[in-house]
Amino acid sequence: MFKRFLMSISVFVFLVFFSIAANASEKESKEGELPVWMERVSLTGTIEGDYSWSEHNDVADKASDSTSDLYISTVELGIEAEITNWITGGVVLKTENIGLDGGGEAVLIDEATISLQKDSFPVYVVVGKRGQPFGVFESHLITDPITQDAYETVRPGITVGIAGPIDLDLSATIYKGEEMMDHLVEAELSSAISRTSHTATDEVNSYILSVSVTPFPEQLTLFGSYISEPGYIDRNSTLSFGVNSQPVDGLIIDAEYFMALQREKYDGQTKEFRERVLSASVAYQLIDPLVEIAVRYEHFDDDGMAEGAGIWAVDNRYSAGAGYSFYYDEESGLAAYIAAEYRLTNYRETTDSIDKNNEFFARLGLSF
């Protein structure tokens, strides 16, 4: 009920700002010209169709057969309105996995934000639902990195930040809920392990501290963030830090590391498992034609959770892939592209579970 109410309010606020901008700008437009407000509104979108194949359809069963799927992985529409030079409103509508069980059932509001930021003033404010600034999750492949699967935190919140020299961005965010921990448990990095049942908080007392800086423009960016949420008895806190480097034209190096500082005990467990996750990738881009090739290595250190709980868990993952934009217009942003990815995952296994899995992914997409 709260989510539906928040969605309704977000859309209402966006439409109010949209109407104000339209009414004000139409008065300024000249006869025979498009209304000025149309210059302040931009539309973006993405449609992607995917094919996937997996050697095993069940990690828990080493005798399981292969499986494959063909589906629409993403349909996304974004609307952004620049009300003034310091007020921006945006909404992103999205549905995923059309054709898969449990996917594509409804179009959801993936993002709904109001941003207050002026170039000449260092302080900015962002209010609304979005992926909050915990982790960067750079990806050059079809699949998301393990770090994003485990830690992406999409909740309504309020961010207050400061922008400074060398692209300094220092911010604090508050929100309500236990999204990061729920996401971690549901990330399919291990067989079923559940959180200890408890009453969820009724207070806005989850928070994120985030910082990024670019000491060498277009060559090196450093970033880090800290998140803290309420949990069962203990709070759950995690630290992340990473780097994005482009030492030469076309070469991109990304690395991000997450480490649990404090964890609640999972249901039925006597030990507090403090996991660590690493994702590192190297990509090379050609401009003409627009081609990108990439490799990625990932490691999930479960702090003995699989052994202690007698379950399987992801250990190492290796990915390689390439993408090609067979149509791309830099001025308009229109693009059509194809991509492919091979992925090998090694597991900490049980008696019945698999020790590794080979997977293949292919995508045809367009964006505007």
Amino acid at 327: Y
Q: What is the CATH number of the domain that holds 168?
A: 2.40.160.10
Confidence class of residue 39 from pLDDT cuts 50, 70 and 90?
Answer: confident
Whose tokens are 């990095």? That residue is 189
Percent pLDDT > 70 in the chain is 90
pLDDT at 15 over 50: no
Higher pLDDT residue, 39 or 42?
42
Longest Cα separation, the chain: 76
pLDDT at 189: 94
pLDDT at 6 over 60: no
Domain count, the chain: 1
Q: Residue 352: CB partners within 8 Å, gap ≥ 6?
A: 60, 61, 62
Average pLDDT over residues 294-303: 98
At residue 107, φ and ψ (nearest 5 deg) are -85, 120
Q: What is the pLDDT of residues 60-73, one digit of tens each?
A: 999 999 999 999 99
List the beta bridge partners of residue 98: 72
pLDDT at 314: 97
pLDDT at 104: 67
pLDDT at 216 over 80: yes
Q: What is the pLDDT of residues 197-208, one digit of tens each?
A: 888 888 999 999
pLDDT at 27: 46
Q: DSSP letters along 153-213, please?
A: -EEEEEEEEEEEGGGEEEEEEEE-S-HHHHHHHTS-SBS---BPP-PPP-S--EEEEEEEE
pLDDT at 199: 86
Residue 244 belongs to domain spanning = 2-367
pLDDT at 234: 85
pLDDT at 120: 86
pLDDT at 37 over 80: no
Q: Residue 179: CB partners within 8 Å, gap ≥ 6?
A: 153, 154, 155, 206, 229
Q: What is the pLDDT of residues 316-338, one digit of tens each?
A: 999 999 999 999 998 888 999 99
Confidence class of residue 98 from pLDDT cuts 50, 70 and 90?
Answer: very high
